[in-house]
């Protein structure tokens, strides 16, 4: 199937999940996760109306952005960095992206703020929360989230937009909802502390309906849009 056809069916699935949850389909942004796919795939999706793209690997992303821009300077796309962040590699992220989804340390946010070029609007940030309780996983713990959010909200060149989570894989749709519900609760708690945010970045190809049922405002979809990834390249 073509990328355009797959995009249409993902948009349709998002709308259906919204209707089932009594939500407006316009309240959910589709982030097309293009990691491992080339500039040609991004351009094909963009020509089918897709605007927001997510990337995980910094060097791959920076090369791809440049290539897309060279091939199609007419396209105005919104790039989101959704991968893990190394503290010595924040500058290219601050310079090339509109959003960063996986911030889980104050030091990273500070560097992104310092390195954000002055001619660009503030960098939109989501704090990644560890909602599955595994020690090995990245993300700030729910207990440490309020202090981190308070610190990040004060940074000058950062706009704290909300929370992001990657729960442990779970195939049972009924059980997929609990970690998403927790993220929604945590966002509500922050708002009550005086830190209002508008974004819940949660839901991927395998758990999108559950995430939308629990209030996702941005779903990060790779496989269902571009097909299966081949990490050999
Ligand atoms: C790869 C990735 C996705 C997309 O996953 P799919 O299952 O292919 O939809 C979403 N979010 C993050 C953080 C990812 O790394």
**Residues lining ligand 1, CB < 6 A?**
33, 35, 56, 82, 166, 204-206, 220-224
Of all atoms in ligand 1, which is nearest to the CA of residue 33?
Answer: 4
Nearest CA to ligand 1 atom 6: 222
The three-class DSSP label of residue 205 is coil
Please report the pLDDT score of residue 190 as a whole number.
Answer: 98
* Cα 53 to middle of ligand 1, angstroms: 11
Q: Is residue 15 part of a domain?
A: yes
Q: Is residue 77 part of a domain?
A: yes
* Cα 106 to middle of ligand 1, angstroms: 24
Which residues span the domain enclosing 153? 3-226
Of all atoms in ligand 1, which is nearest to the CA of residue 31?
Answer: 10
Tens of pLDDT along 46-71? Answer: 999 999 999 999 999 999 999 999 99
CATH of the domain at 82: 3.20.20.10
Please report the pLDDT score of residue 99 as a whole number.
Answer: 99
Query: How many residues are there in the chain?
Result: 233
Which residue in 225, 215, 182, 165 sits closest to 13, CA to CA? 225
Q: Is residue 231 part of a domain?
A: no
Please report the pLDDT score of residue 135 as a whole number.
Answer: 63
Total number of domains constituting the chain: 1
* Cα 52 to middle of ligand 1, angstroms: 14
Tens of pLDDT along 184-217? Answer: 999 999 999 999 999 999 999 999 999 999 999 9
118-122 average pLDDT score: 98
23-33 average pLDDT score: 98
Q: Is residue 232 part of a domain?
A: no
Angle between helices 3-20 and 39-47 (to 10 degrees): 60
Q: Is residue 18 part of a domain?
A: yes
Q: Is residue 10 part of a domain?
A: yes
- Token pair of 2, please? 């073509």
Nearest CA to ligand 1 atom 4: 222
Q: How far apart are CA 97 and CA 122, in angstroms?
A: 10
Q: Is residue 140 part of a domain?
A: yes
Of all atoms in ligand 1, which is nearest to the CA of residue 205?
Answer: 9
Find tokens 């293009």 and name the residue: 34
Residue to substitute in 82, 180, 227 for testing ligand 1 pocket (most ligand atoms within 8 angstroms of CB): 82
Q: Give the model's confidence band at 133: pLDDT under 50 very low, under 70 low, under 90 confident, else very high.
A: confident
Q: Give the number of other Cβ atoms within 10 Å of residue 15's Cβ.
A: 16
Query: What pTM value is reported for the model?
Result: 0.97
- Token pair of 154, please? 């004060």
Please report the pLDDT score of residue 136 as a whole number.
Answer: 57
Report the mean per-residue pLDDT for the chain. 96
Of all atoms in ligand 1, which is nearest to the CA of residue 229?
Answer: 8
Q: Is 4 exposed, middle or buried (0-12, 13-18, 19+ CB in 10 A)?
A: middle
Q: Is residue 233 part of a domain?
A: no
Q: How far apart are CA 166 and CA 129, in angstroms?
A: 8
Tens of pLDDT along 68-110? Answer: 999 999 999 999 999 999 999 999 999 999 999 999 999 999 9
């Amino acid at each position: 199937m073509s990328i355009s056809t797959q995009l249409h069916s993902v948009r349709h699935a998002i709308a259906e999940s919204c209707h089932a949850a009594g939500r407006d389909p316009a309240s959910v942004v589709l982030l097309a996760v293009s990691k491992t796919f080339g500039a040609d795939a991004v351009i094909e999706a963009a020509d089918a109306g897709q605007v927001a793209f997510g990337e995980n690997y910094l060097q791959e992303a920076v090369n791809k952005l440049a290539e897309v821009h060279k091939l199609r300077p007419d396209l105005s796309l919104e790039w989101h960095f959704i991968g893990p962040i190394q503290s010595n590699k924040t500058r290219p992220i601050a310079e090339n992206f509109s959003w960063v989804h996986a911030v889980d340390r104050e030091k990273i946010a500070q560097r992104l703020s310092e390195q954000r070029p002055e001619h660009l609007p503030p960098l939109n940030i989501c704090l990644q929360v560890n909602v599955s309780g595994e020690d090995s996983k990245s993300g700030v713990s729910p207990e440490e989230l309020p202090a981190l959010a308070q610190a990040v909200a004060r940074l000058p060149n950062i706009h704290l937009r909300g929370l992001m989570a990657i729960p442990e894989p779970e195939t049972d749709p009924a059980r997929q909802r609990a970690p998403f519900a927790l993220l929604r609760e945590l966002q509500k708690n922050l708002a009550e502390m005086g830190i209002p945010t508008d974004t819940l970045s949660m839901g991927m190809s395998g758990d999108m309906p559950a995430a939308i049922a629990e209030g996702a405002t941005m779903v990060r979809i790779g496989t269902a849009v571009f097909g299966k990834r081949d990490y050999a390249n």
